[in-house]
Amino acid sequence: MSGPVMTDFRFGRSVKPHDRHAVCWYHPAVLLLAARDVLSSLNQFRNRDERESFPLPLTVIDRSQRPPDAGDFWFDFLADTGDGGNATYAVALTALADQVEGADGQVLPRGELLVLGGDLAYPSASTLDYRYRFTELFEAALPDEASYNEAGTALVRGQPFTLAALPQNHDWMDSASTFGRYFLRSKNSRPLLAAEIPQRQSYVCVRLPCGWWLLGLDFAMTDDIDHDQFEQFKALASAHGLATEVNGQPATQRILPEDRVILLYPLPIWTTPVAAGVHPGGAKRYQLLEGLLQSRIALRLAGDLHHYMRWTSEQDGQLVTCGTGGAFAHPTHTRLTTAPVVVRNVTNAAAIPASAARIVQVGLDDGAAPAQSRPFSKLSGSDYPPVAQSRRLALGNIGALFGSGGGFWQGNRWFAAVLAGMYLVGFGLQPLPFGLFWSALLFAALCLPLGWESRLEASAKWPAWSGTVLALGTGLAHALCHVAAMAGVGWAVRVLLASAAPVSEAGSAAVWLAGLLAGGALLGTLIFGCYLTLMSRLGFLTTNGFSALAVQDFKGFLRFHISADGALHGYFVAIDQVPRVWAIHTEPQPVWSPTDRPLASRVHDQFVIRK
């Protein structure tokens, strides 16, 4: 399914960022490939969890000890990169530059550690997609005159540049094989970005200066961490610590009671109901881990949704969603992103066998157990893109599915061809007994899966069945609109034939064929676009509401700074407008530079977590 139908995989300096077109998510080949890879990966997980094959003990990347003259520690986080070349390269160029300038002359030096939050290539994690959409763009963004140590590792202000990465669901679509080749297994050739990449598990542990830790949890294609992963992090948080190796030497690592933890999730769990998938007496492993860490958790961080948002609580730290590394933008005005978020501490007393473990649940407020729930406050103005802009962007769905791609065989316009074929087949079913029913069933097969997403976006305070009714109702209403449009096209063709001069049977068939195909392509695509617009404006379809828009702007990443007093400073570096045209740079690195507009960035949001 890969190849020129989906993407023209050409590599090298001559293939500029603007020639690396964004994924056309409604192209039939993309839809089929994504469905195939998801089903294949889920089937493999049903039989074997690949995470259980990683070597133990957990690799701890220790960056806590620093030379006296090294200064403060800076590190970066970015996620959801490999979609369109313009956006991904703009983020990489900004993040890998020597520094970023904020307001009032504020200087943010490049991070010595780069943490990648996953979904590094779309639509699936093939070797070609990784190279075309991720690795070449980041390698091309490296600055000129880089320095290296004796081992060949790139240096940032004299310190080894380090990479750590957490896979998301798209990285797992090939059982994380491509991800593993870059980040987990021993490397005999130059590693990505000439960086140190010490990790050997898909989950991440980084010990930072001043008692800070970063723990990256890998959910793979499930909704929880696996047993080995839990046991390793559990030992790290225990009184006896985790026996492991640091720089090849035996060492015991332990998160002390006064230490602070950044929990990196593969998706923002706070956009799901607070008790999602958990029954009395049951718990998810990551909730048990949070119960062990308790007040040591200062920040919960995730990508997956392609926007920036932040919530805060004096007692429970910060929640940050930051998936703006290069993929198309996600809305910030939907019900999942604007509903109240709470944290709840409960016991697992009903478990079998009996357990006294504490469980921490974070998510959308479902109205239950208010005495045990503590709210997070959403930071007004932190949303990126801004909520008002997000609502306006939703209107672009009306015509988005008519869009082209990088070549004749690419583009969402081929989804119009699918709809045209469905109108033709649906009309052909009319002479059958209950023909209208079979036509409606045909369109329901297309519309219900898309509408099914709204089932997850019903208010957490509504009855459990309400989400299913909402999904079925909106999906069927969408399907019936297509049935009515199909009948209208058929009526128009009949009127045309009746009012025109008599034609042969072959000519009549040609008119019917042309009319139904044209009507399906134009009217069907317009109805589908209006459905996306309406549902998005009503606050639904957080994941798919903008998937047809391929919004290149509103990108950025997080830059962190641990100061001498142990405080963690966070800066969201925003790129409001991404350049659209690039030329080969005169110097060896970076490879390309913008020609249509300057690559400008600014600090959109910043916060401090005191130790």
Over residues 194-212, the pLDDT tens digits come to: 999 999 999 999 999 999 9
- The torsion angle over the Cα atoms of residues 93, 99, 100 and 106, rounded to 10 degrees, is 180
Q: What is the arithmetic mean of pLDDT over 144-163?
A: 89
Q: Within its chain, how far is the Cα of 68 from the centroid?
A: 38
Residue type, 510: A
- The radius of gyration computed from the CA coordinates of the chain, to the nearest angstrom, equals 26
Are 209 and 64 within 8 A, CB to CB?
yes
Q: What whole-number distance in Å separates Cα of residue 355 and Cα of residue 345?
A: 15
The stretch 497-525 carries a mean pLDDT of 83
17-392+549-609 is classed CATH 1.10.357.10: no
- Check whether 321 has a pLDDT greater than 70: yes
Which tokens in the block code for residue 65? 């000890």
**Average pLDDT for residues 316-341, to the nearest whole number?**
94
The whole model's pTM is what?
A: 0.92
**What is each CA distance from 574 to 65, 326, 605, in whole angstroms?**
31, 12, 9
State the distance between the two ends of the chain, measured CA to CA, in whole angstroms.
51
pLDDT value for 4: 39
Q: What pLDDT shows up at residue 406?
A: 65
Res. 438: pLDDT tops 50: yes
What local confidence, expressed as pLDDT, does residue 45 receive? 67
Distance CA 272, CA 299 (A): 18
Count of residues making up the chain: 611
pLDDT of residue 9: 83
- CA 216 – CA 211 distance, rounded (Å): 17
What does the domain layout of the chain look like in residue ranges?
A: 17-392+549-609, 403-537
- Proportion of the chain above pLDDT 90, given as a percent: 56
Query: In this structure, what token pair is assigned to residue 404?
Result: 């082209």
327 or 188, which is more confident? 327
Count CB-CB contacts under 10 A for residue 430.
Answer: 13
pLDDT higher than threshold 60 for residue 172: yes
Q: Is the pLDDT of residue 3 over 70?
A: no
Q: Binning pLDDT at 50, 70 and 90, where does residue 407 land?
A: low
- What was the pLDDT predicted at 296? 96
Using alpha carbons, select from 62, 55, 58 the residue that is nearest to residue 234.
58
Each residue's pLDDT tens digit, 236-288 = 999 999 999 887 788 999 999 999 999 999 999 999 988 887 877 788 999 99
- With a pLDDT cut of 70, the percent of the chain lying above it is 96
The answer to whether residue 217 scores a pLDDT higher than 60 is yes
Quick check: 82 pLDDT over 50? yes
- In angstroms, the CA 33 to CA 177 distance is 17
Give me the mean pLDDT over the 490-516 stretch.
Answer: 81
Does residue 506 carry a pLDDT above 70? yes
pLDDT (average), residues 344-358: 85
Q: Give the residue from 561, 419, 471 showing the smallest Cα distance to 109.
A: 561
In contact, 332 and 387? CB cutoff 8 Å: yes
pLDDT at 386 over 90: yes
Instruction: Give the residue among 429, 544, 411, 423 at the shortest CA–CA distance from 475.
Output: 544
Q: Above 80 in pLDDT, residue 19?
A: yes
Q: Which amino acid is at 299?
A: L
User: Which pLDDT score, from 0 to 100, does residue 58 have?
Assistant: 95
Mean per-residue pLDDT of the chain: 89
What's the rounded mean pLDDT across residues 63-80?
91
pLDDT for 588 beyond 70: yes
Range in 155-164, 248-257, 497-506 with the lowest mean pLDDT: 497-506
Q: Which two tokens stand for residue 146?
A: 């880089």
**In the predicted model, is pLDDT for residue 450 greater than 90?**
no
pLDDT higher than threshold 70 for residue 2: no
- Amino acid (1-letter code) at residue 462: W
Which amino acid belongs to residue 332?
T
How many angstroms separate the CA atoms of 89 and 86, rounded? 6
Check: CB of residue 587 under 8 Å from CB of residue 546: no
Q: Would you state the pLDDT for residue 187?
A: 62
- Report the pLDDT averaged over residues 119-130: 88
